[in-house]
Amino acid sequence: MEKINNSIDRSWIDKFKKPLIISGPCSAESEKQIIETAKRLDTSSVQIFRAGIWKPRTKPNNFEGIGEKGLEWLRKVKKNTGLMIATEVANEEHVKLAISFEVDVLWIGARSTASPFTIQNIADALEKANDKIVLVKNPIHPDVELWIGALERLLGRGIKKLGVIHRGFYTYKNSKYRNQPNWSTLLSFRNILPRIPIICDPSHICGNKEGIFDIAKKAYYFQHEGLMIESHYDPDNAWSDSQQQITPEELLIMLSKLTNIKDKFSKKSQINLDYFRIIIDEIDENIISLLSERMNTSKKLGALKKSLDIDIIQPNRWNSIMNKSIFLGKKLGLDEKFLKELFKVLHQESIKIQNQIR
């Protein structure tokens, strides 16, 4: 990985005061919306204006972006405010159009990062415009090698002004986040590629505006070098992701609070302590979420047992669960006594829930 680290050109981000702030609406909707949002952003705090021109959607017939005409609106923002402009690209045509409209920063979305063919197509299209800044969002699933592979493909085409965007990862369970932060994966990635600039995207991690400040604050502890936060002059009426966008004025208040926090936590020992506390907090949240799912399944099991007139306590089944759990736990370095006590409590709570249904 030393070759990748040494190949990364950090000059594009080192010229900015930290943190770098990228902001603007989730998607371009109208010229008025783009110009008004940009006008209300504080250019002493925000360096790059963002807006989605093409919006990849899970299902068809949803709003999939305004298309090429939105690029002209972005170019007007650049001319009128002096802000750099950024948008997402997902194929060769997007790259060519973005370049023709003088877009400064191109980012590659999570779905695209997950596809080596798509990344290669974008890298090939950028080969003759390798002075552009390219930011690569993490893949949907926490696959560090896939993320690094995307960077290697870009570097292979001479694209060196690179950075990554931490936008969270898909989770199979119920969570308070739209995309799980998975801070431990981020820490692993940073340890492998310490020179790569990391931008945190609290808007897509949270999926709601209420959690943005907390995620942004944690990003400081993990020494992210920038934030991408969605803003809209009228977020309640946004055409996409209205629940996760804030007004430019709310953004300014948030950034001032974050600056105060950053000044308090500058010692490396404190930062390292916060790393592990945040990771433990996230693991605890995951445990609680999984416990909730387990007990909800116990309710369904209790109802089924009732309909089939089956006893709640099944000794053979319980012994099987305990033996398998102890075997797995030992392989993972967990104490047998601890596991027995833990599963005893889980079993008792499950029986209690099923008895209530009876």
Q: Which residues of the chain form CATH 3.20.20.70?
A: 2-266
The fold of 270-357 is Chorismate Mutase Domain, subunit A (1.20.59)
Show the CA angle centred on residue 142, arms to residues 137 and 145, nearest 5°: 80
Beta bridge partners of 75: none
Q: Which residues of the chain form CATH 1.20.59.10?
A: 270-357
Domain 2-266 has CATH 3.20.20.70: yes
C-alpha 111: how far from its chain's center? 12
The 10s digit of each residue's pLDDT in 141-184 is 999 999 999 999 999 999 999 999 999 999 776 778 999 999 99
> Does the reported pTM lie above 0.85?
yes
Element (DSSP H or E) covering residue 155:
helix 144-155
The one-digit pLDDT tens for each residue of the chain (358 residues) are: 888 888 999 999 999 987 999 999 999 999 999 999 999 999 999 999 999 999 877 778 778 889 999 999 999 999 999 999 999 999 999 999 999 999 999 999 999 999 999 999 999 999 988 899 999 999 999 999 999 999 999 999 999 999 999 999 997 767 789 999 999 999 999 999 999 999 999 999 999 999 999 999 999 888 899 999 999 999 999 999 999 999 999 999 999 998 766 555 555 556 678 888 899 999 999 899 899 999 999 999 989 988 998 898 889 999 999 999 999 999 999 999 999 999 999 999 999 999 998 7
Output the DSSP codes for 51-99: -BSS---SSTTS-----THHHHHHHHHHHHH--EEEEE--SHHHHHHHH
Beta bridge partners of 192: none
C-alpha–C-alpha distance, residues 124 and 112, integer Å:
14
The 10s digit of each residue's pLDDT in 206-255 is 999 999 999 999 998 888 999 999 999 999 999 999 999 999 999 999 99
Q: Annotate 185-248 with three-state secondary structure.
A: HHHHHHHHCCCCCEEECHHHHHCCHHHHHHHHHHHHHCCCCEEEEEECCCHHHCCCCHHHCECH
C-alpha–C-alpha distance, residues 51 and 71, integer Å:
9
Question: Residues 40, 43, 44, 49: is their CA dihedral positive or negative?
Answer: positive
